[in-house]
Amino acid sequence: MPRTIHVIGAGLSGLAAAIRLSERGERVIVYEAMQQAGGRARSYYDAATDLVIDNGNHLLLSGNHAAMAYVRALGSQAGLVGPPRADFAFIDLPSGKRWTLHINKGRTPWWIFSEQSRVPGSSLMDYVRLVPLVWASKNKTVAETIACHGPVYDRLGHPLLLAALNTDPPQGSAALAGAIVRETLLAGGLACRPLIARGLTEVLIDPALRLLESCGAKVRFGAQLRALDLRDGKAHALDFGTERIVLEKEDAAILAVPPWIAPSLIPGLSAPTQYRAIVNAHFRVQPPKDFPPMIGVIGGTVEWIFAFPDRLSVTISGADRLLDQSREELATAIWREVAQVAGITTDLPPWQVVRERRATFAATPAENAKRPGAVTKFFNLYVAGDWTDTGLPATIEGAIRSGNRAADLALRNQAT
Ligand SMILES: Cc1cc2nc3c(=O)[nH]c(=O)nc-3n(C[C@H](O)[C@H](O)[C@H](O)COP(=O)(O)OP(=O)(O)OC[C@H]3O[C@@H](n4cnc5c(N)ncnc54)[C@H](O)[C@@H]3O)c2cc1C
């Protein structure tokens, strides 16, 4: 009987692990508590707008190498769309001023030398002031590392770091912010092209399920792991309530569940305990013809607007302050800003507001320090997820890297 690797959780980390293992010829079973895969990155039909929407707009960058390799393996790269180059459109809402950052392809940042390409009102020194983030210490916040003001911080550093950390940047981990700066701005325009999935499920999830099926892997929905039988340094069984699955001698398990679940299944496992919300608002309206694929909004409640063929969708990160506001109030206030940016004069179109309270862990130094590695005290049990110690904030890229790593460890363990 060949060994089986059990993957618990069909979010992006679990799917990435399962794909890597299946492609290496392992027998894989994925267990997902819900009836749908994708976890925090999923699409669904929304009756209020009569559209298929994503739970949140998800931005990838062309330099997210693990995510790009994942999408290539799925064959769904055509579903990632964005501007042809690393161009980032912005508007300053109070003044109405618009500009576009043009980040040149190579690593030498020629763009910061050109007034047409860089942040308006900025000087070269303003960019140099971001550099200490690159070698920042793990226990420092962004505010303890760089000056959190000035044109480059206000119009580039703040929006970039807020989107990546999902945490008010001054309180954010300087080390995680540094990882973002290294993998984006310092890597040059080839790594910074923004890419948006035209349907999270269509591009990132359903093709993964099809690939797994073609490799012979099984995916079981409605299978919620209730407990793990952990003794003598080994996981002995998976308990799904009505069913107990015994792990044979060579079997292994990868727990790819969110940070608020994993410690209840592995007593003593360290994990972040504070989270930050993301609010997304979707408006069923055709974007104006020349509207960019995405635009950063400075000085408003709205932070980013994404254009889809059938809607304009808004992302607001670190959005805990908006959780107590009524959905109607939020939709009206957000639409006012969207209409101003897009130059649309119509009243509030059909809308939906999605509030993900625990979108990501809070990317502060204290929470970052709680992230565990993939290896556990149990030799045949690994953990994966965007909240494990990936060196990145909670992102698709981090989730996929963590799944790959857990899979590699399980493969290596069998080889030794
Ligand atoms: C609104 C929003 C916007 C975001 N925007 C971006 C973005 O622009 N760019 C970006 O890179 N990232 C973004 N992210 C983050 C990204 O979605 C996550 O990093 C990624 O999806 C996490 O994947 P994961 O596999 O680690 O966890 P999850 O997606 O949480 O997957 C865990 C899975 O485990 C399942 N599960 C839980 N308990 C059990 C159990 N007991 N038994 C079996 N299964 C179980 C869950 O149902 C879930 O399917 C965003 C997140 C949100 C919520």
Distance 38 CA to ligand 1 centre (A): 7
pLDDT band at 402 (very low <50, low <70, confident <90, very high): very high
Question: Tokens 């994990």 map to which residue?
Answer: 271
Give 323-346 as a DSSP string: TTS-HHHHHHHHHHHHHHHHT--S
Q: From ligand 1's centre to the CA of 12, what distance in Å?
A: 7
Look at residue 324 in the predicted model and tell me its pLDDT.
94
Q: What is the mean pLDDT of residues 334-341?
A: 98
- For residue 355, the model assigns a pLDDT of 96
Distance 312 CA to ligand 1 centre (A): 23
Query: Looking at residues 345-352, what average pLDDT do you find?
Result: 96
Helix or strand holding residue 357 (H, E): strand 351-361
Condensed to tens digits (0 to 9), the pLDDT of residues 133-176 reads 999 999 999 999 999 999 999 999 999 999 999 999 999 999 99
Mean pLDDT of all residues in 259-282: 98
Once rounded to an integer, what is the mean pLDDT over residues 58-81? 97
* pLDDT value for 415: 53
| Pocket probe mutation, ligand 1, options 13, 239, 257, 397, max atoms within 8 Å of Cβ | 257
Whose structure tokens read 């190579």?
Answer: 106
Round to whole Å and give the CA distance between 186 and 359. 27
344 has pLDDT over 90: yes
For ligand 1, the distance from its centroid to the CA atom of residue 174, given in whole angstroms, is 23
Q: Which atom of ligand 1 approaches the CA of 34 most closely?
A: 47
| Residue 44 CA to ligand 1 centre (angstroms) | 15
18-44 per-position pLDDT tens digit: 999 999 999 999 999 999 999 999 999
Alpha helices in 81-191 (DSSP H): 124-128, 151-152, 158-165, 174-183
Query: Ligand 1 mean position to 258 CA, how many Å?
Result: 7
Specify whether the CB–CB gap between 170 and 142 falls below 8 A.
Answer: yes
Q: What is the pTM of this model?
A: 0.97
Q: Measuring from atom 13 of ligand 1, which residue has the nearest CA?
A: 395
The pLDDT of residue 416 is above 80: no
Q: What is the DSSP string of 364-387?
A: SHHHHTT---SB-SSTTEEE-STT
If you measure from the C-alpha of residue 220 to the centroid of ligand 1, how many angstroms do you get, rounded to a whole number?
18
Q: At 70, which helix (H) or strand (E)?
A: helix 65-74
* pLDDT at position 413: 82
Please report the pLDDT score of residue 336 as a whole number.
Answer: 98
Q: Average pLDDT of 111-118?
A: 94
In SS3 terms, 25-37 reads as CCEEEEEECCCCC
pLDDT tens digits for range 212-236: 999 999 999 999 999 999 999 999 9
Q: Report the candidate in 263, 223, 261 with the shortest Cα–Cα distance to residue 243.
A: 223
- Structure tokens given for 300: 């408003």
- Whether 371 and 386 have beta carbons less than 8 Å apart is answered as no
Atom of ligand 1 at shortest range from CA of 36: 49
Q: What pLDDT band is residue 414 in, cutting at 50, 70 and 90?
A: low
Average pLDDT score, the chain? 96
Q: Give the per-residue pLDDT at 1.
A: 73
Confidence tier at 2 by pLDDT (50, 70, 90): confident
Supply the residue whose CA is at minimum distance from atom 14 of ligand 1. 395
- What residues flank ligand 1, with Cβ below 6 Å? 8-14, 31-34, 39-41, 55-56, 58-59, 224-225, 256-258, 261, 278, 280, 356, 359-360, 385-386, 394-397, 399
